[in-house]
Amino acid sequence: MIRIGLAGIGFMGMIHSNAKVTAIAARDPKKRSGDWTMIQGNFGPRGRQMDLTGIATFASAEELIDQSDVDMVDICLPSDNHTDPVIRALEAGKHVLVEKPIALSLVDADRMVAAAKASGRMLMVAHVLPFFADFRFALDAIRRGRFGRLQAAHFRRHISPPNWSDAVADFEKVGGPLIDLHIHDTHFVVVACGMPRRLTSVGTRRGEMVTYVSTQYDFGPDGPAISATSGSLSASSRPFTHGYELYFEKGTLFYEAGQPLRVFTSEGIETPALAGGDEIDSFTAEIGAAVEAVTTGQPSALLDGILARNALALCMKEGESVRQGVPVATA
């Protein structure tokens, strides 16, 4: 059994605790005692009273990392506090799963990737989107050529300004909607299609923070035409939404959150039955993939640290394009 130490008990830490953890780290003594009733997020259940019998508790991530009976550290700390704990854990000989984004700067992301290479341990980044049933179906269709070659695609992801956590709205802590929200789709684009050679973005800003982005990715004259929109401009009465439209040679996939995936072909419209459609199931599958990677010694292609670094790089380039008003090369 892989012994998991969970560092950070906020909303994502609570979701990740569905795995079989053997230790947790939280600064708040109430959380260390099992009182998680104050936790809430933008989906899923609220926190509740937890039975932590048999689970070791620590007041800091550093204390947890230093434990010899922890094989993998699952870091769900705030985004601006990923780098040092990740590097410390890798240098201590632990495998690491860290919640997305990998970091808030490419310098820090590259330090983490380098630390993983030097330690010989796995650095995995918890980008959950490829584990959602509808996106898993899309990725499989792209990779297997189920409907022929992918010709074009559009991804969208929109929320109202976040009010469930003061930290989520703090640009310095989470990077704003571009890095905290849009990175889901840049990661999926990199996983499914690789890195574009350049991109062009327009958007809105509040100071230096990009609040809405519309991007066209350039994969060259023979590559697919890929675009994405994302941001936090929706009115508070509009619920969070995300989805995609994928255009293949022999079919079209259309997905909108809250509605079944539809597949359009020359033979008609199909609504495929998808297993594991629950959001929490997707996170469970994500953590299961990390555990399997550590157990087998075979890295997970979907959780790869370099892919997560490249997804962050795309977000950075999109912000650059918005601010400068010009296309930007990604290399």
Range(s) of the domain holding residue 17: 4-126
**Phi, psi dihedrals of residue 191, rounded to the nearest 5°:** -65, -45
240 with 149, same domain: the answer is yes
**pLDDT surpasses 90 at 290:** yes
8 with 37, same domain: the answer is yes
Is 184 part of any domain? Answer: yes
pLDDT category at 277 given cuts 50, 70, 90 is: low
Please confirm whether the linkage preceding 101 is cis (ω < 30° from 0): yes
Other Cβ atoms less than 10 A from the Cβ of 1: the count is 8
Is 211 part of any domain? Answer: yes
pLDDT tens digits, 292-325: 999 999 999 999 999 999 999 999 999 999 999 9
The CA distances from residue 229 to 83, 138, 155, in Å, are 28, 18, 6
Is 146 part of any domain? Answer: yes
153 with 66, same domain: the answer is no
Total domain count for the chain?
2
Parallel/antiparallel/unpaired status of strands 4-7 and 21-25: parallel
Is 289 part of any domain? Answer: no
pLDDT tens digits, 28-62: 999 999 999 999 876 778 899 999 999 999 999 99
pLDDT tens digits, 230-263: 998 888 888 889 999 999 999 999 999 989 999 9
pTM: predicted TM-score of the whole model, two decimal places:
0.94
36 with 182, same domain: the answer is no
109 with 134, same domain: the answer is no
The CATH number assigned to the domain holding 15 equals 3.40.50.720
Sheet with 268-270: strands ordered across = 268-270, 262-265, 252-256, 241-248, 150-158, 225-231, 209-218, 198-206, 328-329
142 with 180, same domain: the answer is yes
pLDDT category at 107 given cuts 50, 70, 90 is: very high
Overall average pLDDT of the 203-208 stretch: 91
166 with 253, same domain: the answer is yes
Out of 78, 94, 126, pick the residue that ends a domain: 126
Of 224, 225, 230, 226, the C-alpha closest to 243 is 230
Is 61 part of any domain? Answer: yes
Assigned token pair, 224: 């697919």
Overall average pLDDT of the 181-191 stretch: 97
- How far apart are alpha carbons 203 and 251 in whole angstroms? 31
**pLDDT surpasses 90 at 208:** no
Is 294 part of any domain? Answer: no
**Average pLDDT value over all residues in the chain:** 94
77 with 193, same domain: the answer is no
Give the torsion through C-alpha atoms of 147, 149, 151, 153, to 10 deg: 60
73 with 109, same domain: the answer is yes
138 with 233, same domain: the answer is yes
111 with 142, same domain: the answer is no
